[in-house]
Structures are given as C-alpha cells and as structure tokens.
Amino acid sequence: MGVGKRIREARIALGMTQRELAGRIGVSPGAVGNYEAETNHPKEPVMYALLNVLGVDANYLFQDAMKAAQEDGNRRFDVSFDERMHIEKYRRLDDRGRESVGLLLEQERLRVISAKEDDEPAGDCSALTWMDIYTCPAVAGILAFAGPGGKFERLAFPEAEIPKGADFGVRVSGDSMEPTIPDGAIAWVKQSYALSSGQIGIFMVDGEPICKRYYLYGDETCLESDNSDYGPIRVRGGERNFGIVGRVLGCR
C-alpha cells in the first residue's frame, strides 16, 4: 500500500468524499483522485494540509514506502550466481536493448501468471495483446492521448479481456463514475470524435482529461457522473475548450 492508498484509507475512515477533501485542502477533486491513484503527488503545502485535515502524521502516510525501502535493502544481495550474470549483461546494454528486455520480461511474467490462473501449459502466449495504457495524460489537448505528450505504459493483456475495437486504455482516477467504473480501473477506449447521448467517454475540458457520461441538449453538452455525489459539467457553444477523445467500451 503506497502513500496514495493511505490518503484514500484515511479519507474513507473519516467518511469524507474526494470532493469534500479537495475543498478542505484547496485543490480540485481530480487532484485528490490523482494523489490517491499515485499518478501525481501533493506538493509540500498541500501535504501539510492533508496531514492536518486527515488527522494523521507523515509516518502514517509514508510507512509503506519506508518499509519497502528497508526490505529492498535487506534482500539487495540475495541473488544467485546466474542472476548476477544476467544483471551484469543487462547493464552493458544500450537503451534499446534494455527496453526490449523489459518488454520480454513483462510478457513472460504475464504468461506465467495467466498459465497458473487458467491451469494451462506455460508454453502458449499467443492470446496476449499489447495495449497502451495512459496513466497521466498531458493537458495540452486532445492529441495528448495519441501522441508523445501523453504518459503511458505498454502492457500485455489476455485478448479476451479487451473489448473489440478498443484502441487504448486510460487508467481512471477518482470515484465520480462509480459504480460503473471503479477508482483505479482501466477504461478501454475507442478513439472517436462523436458520441451518442448516454454513452460514456473520455473528454478534454479546458485541458483536463475526464471520464463522464455524455448528453447533448440543443447547443449544450452535459457531462454527467454516475456517482450522485458529483454534479454535471456543462459546456455551451464555445464557452470552454472542449473535445471528445473517444468512447469507453468497458473497463477492467
């Protein structure tokens, strides 16, 4: 459990929503969602406000990070001779070689996990599909999801878990779309510039990526949350910088 999960744990223990906590510490609900999902970290003044509002100290929030660092130090040299040789070879690689090794390791790790869960022979990894998962999209515009401005990781998933037509995934932070899309879930997105009323999509509003349900009333666009604790976002005409990134096909 990291710092973000500890923030969420303390907030829930106080019976406080993300919106309520955001108001108490002077940030947006989306920022609180990013803190809890650990896609962003609070700056020092915000951290002090969090400690004060949540009624916890720094030792509580950072206990897992300190424990992990200590455990890592204890097992740092607990490797076999073959493992040490692999490490030495890895250190001699260039960036391209290291990236290739990292992708292969991740693919093999997922293959083994999948084989154990399904009780299938470990020799078949043909059912895995690689997808770009955006964790902290840039706020420069809609193309952040499809260009170098967006921060993403490339991961392999069982082909059956990915809806047909999905172009990429977005890790959702925050509880505004619960229970349909849980906090921390990966939303599978088909890139599109038009949606039908009632469909869930990924949007850019004033440079901020959000996941909401889409409705169109005349010349007014209404983006609604499935969680009744959150009010709608209304966009009329050219009042705000608005764009549709794509339609959400499902989540995991």
Whether the Cβ atoms of residue 101 and residue 118 lie closer than 8 Å to each other: no
CATH of domain 151-251: 2.10.109.10
The beta strand positions in 65-175, using DSSP E, are: 128-136, 151-158, 168-171
The CA-CA-CA angle for residues 148, 154, 160, to 5°, reads 130
pTM beyond 0.85, yes or no: no
- Residue 67 has what pLDDT? 60
Q: Kindly report the number of other CB atoms within 10 A of residue 66's CB atom.
A: 10
CA 195 from centroid of its chain's CA atoms: 23
Could you tell me which CATH class the domain 3-74 is placed in?
Answer: mainly alpha
CA pair distance 163, 185, nearest whole angstrom: 15
- Residue 140 has what pLDDT? 27
- Residue 141 has what pLDDT? 33
- Residue 142 has what pLDDT? 36
Q: What is the CA radius of gyration of the chain?
A: 21
In the predicted model, residues of the chain with pLDDT beneath 70 are 1, 64-82, 84, 96, 99-100, 103, 106-107, 110-111, 114-126, 135-151
- Residue 214 has what pLDDT? 92
- Residue 224 has what pLDDT? 92
Closest residue by Cα to residue 42 from 10, 203, 141, 33: 33
- Residue 114 has what pLDDT? 65
- Residue 146 has what pLDDT? 41
Ordered by start, the domain boundaries in the chain are 3-74, 151-251
